[in-house]
Chains A and B, each alone.
Chain A
Amino acid sequence: MDFLTKWWMYLLGVFVMVFVISQSVFFLVKSSKRAKEIGISTQQIKKTITSSMVFSVAPAIAILFGVVSLKTSLGVVIPWIRLSVLGALTYEVPAAEVTLNTFGESLGTMVSNPQILITALWVMTLGCIPPLIIIPLFLKKIQSGVVKIQKKDTKWGEIFMSAMFLGMISAFIGVVVAPKKDVVSGEMFVSAVPILTMLSSAVLMIVCGLIINKYKQEWLKNYAIPISMAGSMALAILFTTIGVR
């Protein structure tokens, strides 16, 4: 997997970063200019910029956790690029895992051959591409109200979206509890470490939720998933060390 640390991989990452920043600067300049024309003061514009930047620091650090999580299997550059563009941790991790899974591998160790990595990268890239096609084609019509998803039943719409995520979550819960084959003896056994890790993460998430709601610690919302993941992953080391299988 030598290519992952080649100079041209880093160049690709820099190219993506420069593109994203260029687009942002372009729109920042154009919209700031227009803002002044329509009566928004320079002071208000500056305040909007600084507040937004400050507001984004904590979530950006939380996003880094996604780079750390995926680094072991995919190297640094690929998660860096993927998390800089469309696609969050909750998309990139399942997309990568589902692909590795088809090859009989899993996140956690470096993939065994480049084709697995390339297949995963193509899935991660194309798996969330629709907005980049829909928006250039239809945004003008959407904004002018010509095309819209019927908002007759927003409650069902929300339930539908939640049901989709629950479907994905249930499949992965099934994978976690499924008996595994011992590599040495070949016997099937229920591996407690993944189950305990999942339960630990759930408990940590509940604790975070209670702190957020009871003590009004809104800042914790950005960190709840990374904290739950990091804490439970650390506990996985403990469980393994004390001999849990």
Chain B
Amino acid sequence: MEKTYNEKVHGWGRIWMVSALAMMVLVPLVISVVIGVWPDPGKFLQAFFGIAVIYWTVTTIEVFTYAPMLGSGGTYLGFVTGNLTSLKVPSALNAMNALDIKSGSEQGDVVSTIAIAASSIITTIIIFIGAMLLIPFETILDSPALTPAFGNIIPALFGALGVVYISRNWKIAIVPVLFMIILFSVVPSLASSVGILVPVGCLIAIFAARILYKKGAL
């Protein structure tokens, strides 16, 4: 019996996605094999734990959140190339809106896939061109005069991100932010253990959020 288009998409999608998984893992694997250097196990686990607690949770939730919007093809493609919230999801939704097509339909699925494919192609090319254009400027970018700039990427990122999230949820933010400021002020050596403190911050924030939510304060 001939397969439906949807069944075919799942067939192709699984093959491409498993290949993409292999491709992504191959990158660090090939580098490790070629130069003979492997991660420090203890430090890897510490850092991985700190990051995975948030991002394994967030990315898992994103699958369930975005899959119904993007359709099957869009999901198999979008989650390989990433930048979903800022780029792929808006691309797909704009494309469906422009043709007055609802997500969740077969038409929505194909239009979303077309939009995400087009977006992925152009984005990948632009990032490639941009990265190559950086190479002649490496010496300038590595100059000591710019060290204070590149040495403050984290404060720069979290100042901006802080505004985004704290402005939306300042009541939740108070407890974890104050806790961390006091903790790090009293025990500065913890600055080398941020990987462990990220999950601690998350737990405090979730706990505070749950209490506020139950009290109807959010």
Contact = CB atoms under 8 A, between A and B. Distances in A.
B121 A136 contact: no
B94 A55 contact: yes
A87 B82 contact: yes
11 contacts: A20-B81, A35-B110, A88-B83, A101-B47, A115-B40, A132-B17, A161-B61, A163-B172, A169-B161, A176-B154, A222-B86
B1 interface: no
B126 A121 contact: no
Interface string A75-117: 0110111011111111101110111011110111110001100
Given A159-B218, A236-B152, A9 B31 contact: yes
Nearest to B81: A20
B163 A98 contact: no
A150 to B, nearest CB: 10
B153 A233 contact: yes
A59 B43 contact: no
B77 to A, nearest CB: 5
Give the residue among B98, B168, B191 with the most A Cβ atoms within 10 A.
B191
Nearest to B146: A237
A140 B13 CA distance: 10
Given A108-B147, A163-B209, A81 B122 contact: no
Contacts of A229: 153, 156-157, 160
Give the 9 A-B residue pairs with the shortest CB-CB distance, closest first: A201-B159, A167-B202, A174-B180, A108-B151, A167-B201, A174-B184, A178-B184, A170-B176, A198-B155
Contacts of B81: 20, 24, 84-86
Given A67-B127, A164-B202, A198-B158, A149 B61 contact: yes
Given A101-B195, A108-B151, 11 more contacts: A60-B122, A126-B48, A130-B59, A139-B63, A143-B67, A166-B176, A168-B201, A173-B162, A181-B188, A194-B154, A201-B163
B98 A47 contact: yes
A230 to B, nearest CB: 8
Interface string A52-66: 110111011111100
Contact of A86 (B73, B79, B127): B79
A172 B194 contact: yes
Contacts of B125: 21
A211 interface: no
Give the residue among A16, A102, A121, A197 with the most B Cβ atoms within 10 A.
A102
A32 to B, nearest CB: 6
Q: For chain A, which range describes its interface: under 10, 10 to 19, 20 to 34, or 35 or more residues?
A: 35 or more
A100 to B, nearest CB: 9
Given A38-B110, A55-B90, A69-B150, A90 B218 contact: no
Give the residue among B51, B125, B203 with the most A Cβ atoms within 10 A.
B51
Given A88-B83, A198-B162, A135 B118 contact: no
Contacts of B44: 99, 119, 122-123
Nearest to A120: B47
Given A156-B213, A198-B159, A125 B28 contact: yes
A98 B107 contact: no
Nearest to A62: B86
Given A109-B150, A127-B55, A34 B126 contact: no
Interface in A145-159: 148-149, 155-157, 159
Contacts of B18: 132, 136
A83 B126 CA distance: 11
Contacts of A199: 159
A61 B79 contact: no
A67 B118 CA distance: 22
A233 to B, nearest CB: 4
A167 B114 contact: no
A35 B112 CA distance: 11
Given A108-B150, A130-B59, A167-B199, A224 B160 contact: yes
